[in-house]
A and B are shown apart, each in its own frame.
Chain A
């Protein structure tokens, strides 16, 4: 039995003072001593690049790792819509407390109040920081910053840079990182992938990496390790994540003892372009901001094959406006997605494969004029046309939900430290702030909050106690043994000599995950998944074909290891979803719904976070439960009517 007890280390007292008091009570590292500490940052997306730059500015010696050829390619770059901040520049009643409230409620009461309040507090600093770096946010004619509204909120608090907000925020963080590289305070390793986290005496002391260009396996030691490695949506194979997004860093930390929390909380984004056939390699998201001006509908009748323009107004069902008059098309993502699934399952889907719903801009174009719509969404419309060959100024877009973001991740305490001392998880890689559902424009906020304004403070509290301790040398057996095991692993994959490609098995896994652990889950399906996944994994491990050698670039070899980790994760997702006998946010259990088909929580038994502990390859993980208290936001049934 494990001896782990989950201690969230959340401060107490009035919520508005908690972060300030916590910052004051943490130990500090003297400016002249910071250079004596080495910190490894894995991943250079919003969380990683901002953390690496900020830690280097403070004076720490930083090593930053990315498996891309440049830090700027991290998948944060693809975020389109915007970033929330409680600036109240629109004078519409926003405040830190309201952003906090919306986020806790939007997450369906499955996040820690203390963490979320801190997130809302630092949101205003993020915007200041990004503007100072030169992020070209959209402006009003007077030169002040513009905002727009987003799903799940009734105020306009979203800052944006055309449809490329993630790109511009990442470039800001990337440029700050490159400045530190030039100054010599950050050593940057590109095309270098983490394959293991190394522990000595129970603490994280470094990592082992593979150079993707040469195949070289190398160890790196440090006083602390930050994993900023994103989410695991690609367990579904088809998702809006980039092709190379993977769970490997987080999963290998899990195998070394870091608890993995709420893996069943996955977000299905409502506005993606529907799949066009089986060969599809990934799905493309159309920013949720489109729901501000687009109206979602399907025909009232079943199997209606007429083109959209020939369906009269009276025969259209604007189902979100009908069911949720207060929020209409701006209901939170989980609600919008589930409703789309419902109408498609009923047989009212549209498009050649009947697998979508319409997102119609004709009213907005009539009201605002085409030029205003083009100004707001031009690049998204262009992208849609490139992919589908249809012009959305003339015919409604076709959209359908797709996996987009994962709220679950490595369990972390208030300091963002995992259950392994010295190992931190930031951004999407952790589980902390979004509960069971993330609101739009909050991922960028959380990534940058963790990287710029949380980890740089909290890491000092841990490091201060290690002053004078040298790093563990990479000649230590903890490193050399880990390296040897990885070389064996790689050789094993290369010698399987099977018949099918890695992609084949990834696709097959994705089908199980989408069908059984997707938008709606039930006991039968989850039990089926728990039986099918290990069987398919066994076949994968004995019949996959990885050609080429361990030296040099070998993309199949990179993929096979990532897919292997997805198999183990997918099984845990199913177990977690099965254990959580309630519906909340992105986790919808068919057995637990209201008469109107809405998610029905069970706060008495499940107002908690489920954190799973690795028990070895052939034993199911052990569950640890962190209870969640709600002092400031009253537990209520979410209603967007």
Chain B
């Protein structure tokens, strides 16, 4: 098939950007979207023009490195699919495709389609872990975890940290990402000791970077792992509890 691409080009973080139009000829159904861009890039290089910079790594939908706005949709039109797993059979001959980087104030553009997603790491740094020094762990089967609890925790833990939830949100909110990490840990027995401290710290770190959630639900539609916004509700509940419990801890000296 033959396609027309409108691609966002920007030389660096401090320069302006613009759309440029490219023809992508002889694209096959079996190609992935990123392989299509590889081909466009190879042709650009042979013409002596700088290739389009975009991030990708595993190309299996698990590392979370890739992420493009394809015709205004984060990761493109296919539900539950990261950009690298989107295949060209989704498109038709003659289509015009607009390709942009993630759009969010918290994710500044570094070059072309590459953005800086370091605020996501900053949220995890604030408390997205269970303190367990190496070597101190008891036997793994000492704490039975009911299967539904482990499954639910795993549903949340499946987040790949790509940032599509932020890019899709009209407010650029980071709630789905943050709630996925919080619920992964807060649901587990091992995560209880730090539950309230973790919740308060992560939510407040999130608010330093991202907009507020107004329940649009675009995030769960864009999520390549189809993580549910139910987790946001749990996070909000835990956050209110945390504010009370943490105050008790500080003011009255007992848990």
Please report which residues of chain B, range 147-171, place their CB below 8 angstroms from some CB of chain A when the two chains form the complex: 147, 150-151, 153-154, 157-158, 160-161
Q: Please, how many angstroms separate the alpha-carbon atoms of A87 and B142 in the complex?
A: 13
| Chain B, Cβ-Cβ closest to A544 | B45
Residues of A close to B144: CB separation below 8 A: 139, 142-144
B56 proximity list for chain A (CB < 8 A): 243
Bound Cα distance A123, B233 (Å):
38
Mask, B41-65, CB within 8 Å of A = 1, is 1100110111101011111111111
Q: A70-B118, A131-B190 are in contact. Are A500 and B46 (CB under 8 A)?
A: yes
Q: Is the CB of B65 within 8 A of A68?
A: yes
A392 to B132, CA, bound (A): 41
B62 adjacent to A132 (CB under 8 Å) = no
Segment of A167-175, A314-322, A324-332 in the binding face: A167-175
A277 in contact with B28 given A138-B150, A139-B150 (CB within 8 Å): yes
- Per a CB cutoff under 8 Å, which of B11, B30, B89, B126 touches A182? B126
B73 near A: Cβ within 8 Å?
no
Bound complex: CA of A32 vs CA of B140, how far in Å? 31
Check if A599 is an interface residue, CB within 8 A of chain B: no
Interface set, chain A 153-182, CB cutoff 8 A to B: 161-162, 164, 167-168, 171, 174-176, 178-179, 181-182
Q: Does A364 contact B (CB under 8 A)?
A: no
Are B63 and A73 in contact, CB atoms less than 8 angstroms apart? yes
Instruction: Please give, as numbers and ranges, the residues of chain A lying within 8 Å of B127 by CB-CB distance.
Output: 182
- Most chain B CB within 10 A, of A57, A145, A161, A175, is at A175
- Interface residue? B185 (CB, 8 A): yes
Chain B residue, CB-CB nearest to A177: B129
Given contacts A143-B145, A279-B35, contact A131 B126 (CB under 8 A): no
Q: Tell me, in angstroms, the Cα distance from A35 to B133 when the chains sit together.
A: 17
CA distance A68 to B56 in the complex (A): 10
Contact A178 B121 (CB under 8 A): yes
Which residues of the partner chain B approach A86 to less than 8 Å between Cβ atoms? none
Of A57, A71, A161, A387, the residue contacting B85 (CB under 8 A) is A387
Q: Is B217 an interface residue (CB 8 A)?
A: no
Q: What 1/0 mask marks residues of chain A from 166 to 201 whose CB sits below 8 Å from any chain B CB?
A: 011001001110110110000000100000000000
Let me know if B191 is at the binding interface, CB within 8 A: yes
Bound CA span A633–B59, Å: 40
Asked if A69 is at the interface (CB within 8 A of a chain B CB), the reply is yes
* Bound-state Cα–Cα, A168 to B153, Å: 11
Query: Is there contact, CB below 8 Å, between B130 and A162?
Result: no
What separation, in Å, do the CA atoms of A276 and B110 have in the docked complex? 33
Scan A551-576; emit 1 where CB is below 8 A from any B CB, else 0. Answer: 01101100000000000000000000
Bound complex: CA A164 to CA B157 (Å):
10
Q: Which residues of A contact B49 (CB under 8 A)?
A: 547
CB distance from B47 to the nearest CB of A (A): 10
Question: Is A417 in the interface zone, CB < 8 Å from B?
Answer: no
Are B116 and A69 in contact, with the CB atoms below 8 A? Answer: yes
**Does B199 sit within 8 A of A, measured CB to CB?**
no
Which of A57, A89, A142, A553 makes the CB contact (< 8 A) with B114?
Answer: A553
Could you tell me if A282 and B157 are in contact, using CB atoms closer than 8 angstroms? no
User: A444: shortest Cβ distance to chain B, in Å?
Assistant: 14
A167 to B28, CA, bound (A): 31
Complexed CA–CA distance, A87 and B150 (Å) = 20
A218 located at the interface, meaning its Cβ lies under 8 Å from any Cβ of chain B in the complex: no
CB pair B57 A383 closer than 8 Å: no
Q: Please name all residues of chain B whose beta carbon is closer than 8 Å to the beta carbon of A178 when the two chains form the complex.
A: 121, 124-125, 128-129
Given contacts A499-B46, A547-B50, contact A164 B62 (CB under 8 A): yes
B8 to chain A, nearest CB (A): 14
A104 at the interface (CB under 8 A from B): no
Q: Which positions 246-295 of chain A face chain B at CB distance < 8 Å?
A: 276-277, 279-282, 284-285
Question: Quick one: which of A422-463 are within 8 Å of B by CB?
Answer: 452-453, 456
Q: Are A72 and B45 in contact (CB under 8 A)?
A: no
Q: Does A637 contact B (CB under 8 A)?
A: no
Given the known interface contacts A178-B125, A179-B131, A501-B42, the answer about A69 and B157 at a Cβ–Cβ threshold of 8 Å is: no
* Interface membership of A389, Cβ < 8 A: yes
Point out which of A136, A164, A178 has the most chain B C-beta atoms below 10 A from its C-beta.
A136
| Complex Cα gap A182–B121 (Å) | 11
- Does residue B34 face the partner (Cβ distance < 8 Å to A)? yes
Q: A161-B154, A276-B30 are in contact. Are A133 and B129 (CB under 8 A)?
A: yes
Measured CB to CB, the nearest residue on chain B to A128 is B137
Q: By the criterion CB–CB under 8 Å, are B185 and A134 in contact? A: yes
A139/B120 contact (C-beta < 8 A), A53-B134, A501-B45 known: no
B132 and A133: CB pair below 8 A?
yes
Q: Chain A contacts of B89 at CB under 8 A?
A: 389
Contacts of B143 in A (CB 8 A): 131
Question: Closest Cβ of chain B: how far from A558's Cβ, in Å?
Answer: 11
Query: Residue A175 contacts which of B11, B116, B120, B130 (CB distance < 8 angstroms)?
Result: B130
Chain A residues in 8 Å Cβ range of B172: none
- Hey, which chain B residues are within 8 Å of A144, CB to CB? 141, 144
Cα separation A548 to B64 with both chains bound (whole Å)? 27
Which B residues are in CB contact (< 8 Å) with A593?
A: none
What residues of chain B lie closer than 8 Å to A179, measured between beta carbons?
Answer: 125, 129, 131
Closest chain-A Cβ to B226's Cβ sits at a distance in Å of 10
B84 to chain A, nearest CB (A): 9
Beyond A383-B60, A503-B38, is A54–B134 a contact (Cβ under 8 Å)?
Answer: yes
B25 within 8 A of A: no
Residue-wise, chain B 26-41 has the 8 Å CB interface mask toward A (1 for contact) of 0011111011001101
Partner of A73, one of B30, B64, B114: B64
Interface residue B135 (Cβ < 8 Å from any Cβ of A) = yes
B131 partner residues in chain A, CB cutoff 8 A? 179
Q: Does A217 contact B (CB under 8 A)?
A: no
- The interface residues of chain B lying within 8 Å CB-to-CB of A136 are 150, 153-154, 157, 184, 188
Shortest Cβ distance from residue A367 to the other chain B in the assembled complex, whole angstroms: 22
Scoring B124, B132, B140, B151 by chain A CB atoms within 10 A of each residue's CB, the highest score goes to B140
Chain A residues positioned under 8 Å from B35 (CB to CB): 279-281
By beta carbon, the residue of chain B nearest A556 is: B51
Q: Restricting to A139-155, which residues have a CB under 8 Å from any CB of B? A: 139-145
B61 touches A383 (CB 8 A): yes
Q: Please, which residues of chain B bring their CB within 8 A of the CB of A53?
A: 134
Contact A131 B161 (CB under 8 A): no
CB < 8 Å neighbour of A552 from B12, B39, B58, B190: B12
Is B111 on the interface with A (CB-CB < 8 A)? yes
Q: How far is the CA of A471 from the CA of B245 in the complex (A)?
A: 46
- Given known pairs A175-B124, A213-B110, A243-B56, the reply for A75 and B63 (CB within 8 Å) is yes
Excluding A134-B184, A167-B158, 19 further A-B contacts by CB distance (< 8 Å) are A69-B117, A72-B63, A72-B121, A75-B57, A131-B137, A132-B132, A133-B132, A139-B146, A141-B146, A181-B125, A190-B121, A276-B30, A383-B60, A501-B46, A503-B38, A504-B42, A547-B51, A552-B12, A552-B111
CB<8 Å pairs between A and B, sample of 28 = A72-B64, A75-B57, A89-B141, A125-B135, A129-B135, A132-B132, A134-B153, A134-B190, A136-B157, A136-B184, A139-B147, A143-B150, A161-B157, A190-B121, A244-B57, A277-B31, A279-B28, A281-B35, A281-B59, A282-B59, A382-B80, A383-B60, A386-B78, A386-B87, A456-B134, A500-B46, A504-B42, A545-B46
Kindly list the 8 A-B residue pairs having the minimum CB-CB distance in the complex, ordered from nearest: A143-B144, A175-B129, A132-B137, A132-B132, A128-B137, A131-B140, A136-B154, A54-B134
